[in-house]
Structure 1
């Protein structure tokens, strides 16, 4: 991301009692997020190719019985759902990289408190602290 300001280690939010982020940990988080973004882009591309192939092969359905047609529809819907899920995860991953560059990585987007270094290391796309995430899940 040209022109993006990279947050210095120690600037990233941590909870009381946690050690500050080290340069190696910040680099590791960045690498993990970048690799995940590329994996998701590849997955989206494969799913889109698969759907295009299924659409091409569906033709007029001549010679297909209802079971064949139903199987093709289910397979196409499954591929579309996988691609949609991968796109959503890619958005979250790119957002985490932006937050890392902005120095807001590890801050809860709801209450502004630190999410916690351990939580961010376990789930690098986290945008909510545990308390806010639990409140959100209770609403749904």
Structure 2
């Protein structure tokens, strides 16, 4: 009889994105591992910072929402200022959530090899554009067309 050896469970190895699969425009050099590492470091740092900011903003917003019913004894100007502050904080929280989602989407696109490909036309975005703005999902001409609408 042969005894089966059970291997100790190890966490799955982190998948290293393949730089060869990332799109570049004609005339651009292919991605290097150092360039990809720079973009990954920036995106991960940005995601960590946004996650921490979002946590703090949500606590602040929860406090503002909890105090929303405390209108007794306040004049209309105080109520208006409180309402404005609550609306502003809600806008800031939603903006942070959207930026975090864009960052996570960029990281997912790196993992699946579609990073640097325009989501509208399917052409390469351009390595310099995504290095300058790592969350870019549209090439320059598609982005300009979108902004004109």
TM-score, normalised via structure 1 length: 0.90
* Cα distance between partner residues in 2 of 1:80 and 1:28: 32
* Cα distance between partner residues in 2 of 1:92 and 1:57: 32
Task: Give structure 1 stretches of 5+ with no counterpart.
Answer: none
Q: Does 1:62 align with 2:72?
A: yes
Partner of residue 50, structure 2: 40
Partner of residue 50, structure 1: 60
What is the deviation of 1:125?
0.5
What is the deviation of 1:11?
2.4
**Length, aligned pairs only:** 138
Q: Does 1:104 align with 2:114?
A: yes
Task: Give structure 2 stretches of 5+ with no counterpart.
Answer: 1-11
> Which has the higher Rg, Structure 1 or Structure 2?
2
TM-score, normalised via structure 2 length: 0.85
What is the deviation of 1:17?
1.5
Deviation sequence 1:39-87 (CA, Å, 0-9, x none): 1112211111111111233443222111111111100100000001111
What is the deviation of 1:32?
0.8
After TM superposition, the runs of 4+ consecutive aligned structure 1 residues lying more than 2 A away are 2-7, 55-60
Instruction: Kindly indicate whether the alpha-carbon contact (under 8 Å) linking 1:54 and 1:76 is maintained by their aligned counterparts in 2.
Output: yes
